[in-house]
């Protein structure tokens, strides 16, 4: 039987003894759609994106909304660099995180509830346990009190959330404004339970752990993370 778990910050503890201010060094621009107006998606991040190759085809250093035609043109140039398995939306974050950090961190660290980092030593432990997380070292300035490296975990948008009422998709820009349901359920036929951490593709601020990763977190009593089981339908 498949088991899926939402993974999120332990709000009580995680940000009380530390601070993390950072941003991925490149991002896909927002779009100005004639139907929808200006919008960006929140949640998707590909820290492993090779920014040198991206810079050769587009300027992604200054995030700003662009007209729909220009947006499609930019996407046409960067999608082949990123690869077909990494879908791009307006506002998708690219490249490693860069910024400042201070204080003591637990096993998990969070830039926000949809951007998760782990201590480097934990990443190695997970790898040894057969949990292949894609982790990219964040370029963090810890000032005078160094701390071990934190790695941003790349979670690809894969599994689809079950949506009670169909939500129309904008035929021009692809926007599909889905509201957060009272109870999150994911669609079993879209859930690959071999992936330790994935993102809900049609609600990209939610991260989903598989049973193996969830068991690893629970058995080791890892800190600054919460798991809640979700229904697979
Ligand atoms: Zn639109």
The pair of three-digit structure tokens given for residue 208, joined into one six-digit string: 């989903």
The predicted pLDDT at position 15 comes to: 67
Q: Could you tell me if 127 and 133 are in contact, meaning their C-beta atoms sit under 8 angstroms apart?
A: yes
Alpha helices in 90-222 (DSSP H): 120-128, 211-219
The pair of three-digit structure tokens given for residue 150, joined into one six-digit string: 């934190």
20: nearest Cα among 85, 100, 76: 100
Q: Per-residue pLDDT tens for 137-158?
A: 999 999 988 889 999 999 999 9
The predicted pLDDT at position 14 comes to: 66
Strand partners, 157: 199
Residue 62, pLDDT above cutoff 90: no
26 alpha carbon – ligand 1 mean position (Å): 23
194 alpha carbon – ligand 1 mean position (Å): 34
Per-residue b or e along 153-175, where b marks 16 or more CB atoms closer than 10 Å to that residue's CB:
bbbbbbbbbbeeeeeeeeeebeb
The predicted pLDDT at position 13 comes to: 66
The predicted pLDDT at position 220 comes to: 97
80 alpha carbon – ligand 1 mean position (Å): 23
Q: Around Cβ 93, how many Cβ atoms within 10 Å? A: 23
81 alpha carbon – ligand 1 mean position (Å): 24
Alpha helices in the chain (DSSP H): 51-55, 68-82, 120-128, 211-219
Q: Per-residue pLDDT tens for 2-31?
A: 599 999 998 776 667 889 999 999 999 999
70 alpha carbon – ligand 1 mean position (Å): 14
Q: Per-residue pLDDT tens for 159-184?
A: 999 999 889 999 999 999 999 999 99
Q: What is the mean pLDDT of the chain?
A: 95
Q: Per-residue pLDDT tens for 102-136?
A: 988 999 999 999 999 999 999 999 999 999 999 99
Q: Could you tell me if 233 and 187 are in contact, meaning their C-beta atoms sit under 8 angstroms apart?
A: yes
All residues with CB under 5 Å from ion ligand 1: 33, 35-36, 170, 172-173, 175
153 alpha carbon – ligand 1 mean position (Å): 30
24 alpha carbon – ligand 1 mean position (Å): 25
165 alpha carbon – ligand 1 mean position (Å): 19
**Rounded to two decimals, what is the model's pTM?**
0.95
């Amino acid at each position: 039987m498949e088991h899926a778990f939402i993974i999120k910050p332990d709000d009580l503890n995680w940000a009380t003894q530390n601070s993390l201010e950072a941003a991925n060094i490149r991002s896909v621009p927002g779009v100005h759609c004639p139907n929808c107006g200006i919008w960006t998606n929140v949640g998707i991040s590909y820290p492993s994106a090779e920014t040198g190759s991206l810079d050769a085809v587009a300027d992604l250093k200054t995030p700003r909304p662009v007209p729909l035609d220009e947006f499609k043109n930019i996407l046409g140039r960067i999608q082949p660099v990123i690869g077909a398995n990494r879908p791009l939306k307006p506002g998708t974050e690219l490249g490693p995180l860069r910024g400042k950090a201070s204080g003591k961190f637990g096993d998990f660290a969070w830039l926000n509830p949809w951007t998760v980092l782990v201590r480097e030593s934990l990443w190695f432990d997970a790898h040894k346990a057969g949990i292949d997380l894609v982790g990219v070292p964040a370029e963090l300035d810890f000032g005078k009190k160094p701390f071990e490296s934190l790695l941003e975990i790349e979670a690809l948008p894969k599994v689809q959330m079950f949506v009670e009422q169909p939500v129309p998709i904008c035929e021009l820009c692809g926007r599909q404004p889905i509201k957060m349901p009272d109870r999150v359920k994911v669609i079993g036929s879209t859930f690959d339970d071999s992936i330790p951490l994935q993102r809900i593709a049609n609600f990209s601020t939610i991260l989903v752990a598989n049973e193996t990763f969830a068991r690893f977190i629970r058995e080791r009593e890892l800190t600054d993370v919460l798991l809640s089981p979700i229904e697979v339908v």
